[in-house]
Each structure stands twice: as C-alpha cells, then as structure tokens.
C-alpha cells in the first residue's frame, strides 16, 4: 500500500511539473520599427519584476531594397533616455563587440527573406536594463522584432 501511495504521489508531482511549463509564462515580445539612425530606440523596458530577460528570437529586415545594419544593446532604464549607455550599465548584446563599435549585422533588403537568429543559448540581458535597437546611419532603416522569456 505504501508503494501504491508513492506511485500516486509521483503521478501528481508529474502533473504539477507539466502545468509549470504552461506556454506563455514569462514570455515577452517587442519590436522597433523603421529605426533610421544611430539613436537608441527602445524595444522593451526592463522587466518590472526584477527578472532577467533572455532573447530567443531576433527577426530583422530592412525597410528598403538595400540591407541595413543594426545592433541590439541594453542599458540603464530611464524613460527619457532608454538604454542609457553613459550610466555604465549598458552593453552591446548582438553583436557583443562593446560600446562604440559600428553596427555589423545586417537586416536583409525587403525583397529577400528576413533574417531570423534563434540562438540555442538565449542572449542574456543584464538585469534591470532596457533593450534597444541601434539602426543604420546610411539611409536604410531596419525593423526588428525580438522575443524571449524572463526568468529569475
């Protein structure tokens, strides 16, 4: 009877674990549209729960028939100055070359397939920081959609 009770307990725990993996929990998505210059355009503010955001998907496309370069960065959360890199909390995320480097990855022209980066290891965003997109300064704005999840 004791063995039977343990089996029952195990099944109940298995069911509980399954429910903990309900889709959508902690998931987030954001987008920055037609980012046309080197400004930091806010995609999403820091997680309000103090959790760490992880990026699982980066979809990018130029808004013209010429590719546009972009960077994804994070920085101190300040409404008037999202992703403030001057506060010392900022960093480049994609590519992670360090602040001050030129944009390197290209958002493809809008007449070929969009670029979709879906890293096996999600990109970790420093806790308490916004996520921003820095666009192309050469007249080929980019549209970027990011998604991921937040976790402690």
Partner 1 sequence: MKWRKAVPVLFLASLLAFLGYPWGDQPAQAQSFVPGPSWTCSLDAIGATLTRCALAPTGGDSGTKRFVTDIVAQSTTATAGQFILRTGTGTNCGTGTVSLFPSAATVIRFSAPGNGSAPTVISFRTPLEVPKDSDLCLLGVGTNTVTAQISGYLGF
Contact footprint for partner 1 (CB under 8 A):
1, 4, 7-8, 11, 15, 21-24, 27-34, 43, 56-57, 59, 61, 63, 108-114, 116, 118, 122, 143-145, 147-149
Closest CA to 145 of 54, 27, 43: 43
Query: If you search the block for the tokens 């674990």, which residue do you land on?
Result: 17
Q: Which of 117/126 has CB closer to partner 1?
A: 117
CB of 70 to partner 1, least distance (A): 13
CB of 59 to partner 1, least distance (A): 6
Q: Which of 1/98 has CB closer to partner 1?
A: 1
Query: If you search the block for the tokens 């990011």, which residue do you land on?
Result: 146
> CB atoms < 10 A from the CB of 140, how many?
21
Report the alpha-carbon distance of residue 79 to residue 25 in Å, rounded: 26
Q: Which of 105/149 has CB closer to partner 1?
A: 149
Q: Which of 98/121 has CB closer to partner 1?
A: 121
Report the alpha-carbon distance of residue 31 to residue 1 in Å, rounded: 56
């Amino acid at each position: 009877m004791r063995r039977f009770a343990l089996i029952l307990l195990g099944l109940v725990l298995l069911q509980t674990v399954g429910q903990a993996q309900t889709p959508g929990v902690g998931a987030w998505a954001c987008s920055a549209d037609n980012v046309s210059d080197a400004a930091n355009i806010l995609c999403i503010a820091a997680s309000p729960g103090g959790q760490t955001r992880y990026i699982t998907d980066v979809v990018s496309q130029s808004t013209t028939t010429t590719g546009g370069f972009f960077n994804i960065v994070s920085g101190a959360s300040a409404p008037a100055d999202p992703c403030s890199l001057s506060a010392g909390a900022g960093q480049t995320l994609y590519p992670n070359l360090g602040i001050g480097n030129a944009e390197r990855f290209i958002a493809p022209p809008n007449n070929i397939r969009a670029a979709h980066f879906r890293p096996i290891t999600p990109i970790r965003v420093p806790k308490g920081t916004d996520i921003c997109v820095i666009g192309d300064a050469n007249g080929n704005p980019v549209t970027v959609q990011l998604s991921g999840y937040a976790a402690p």
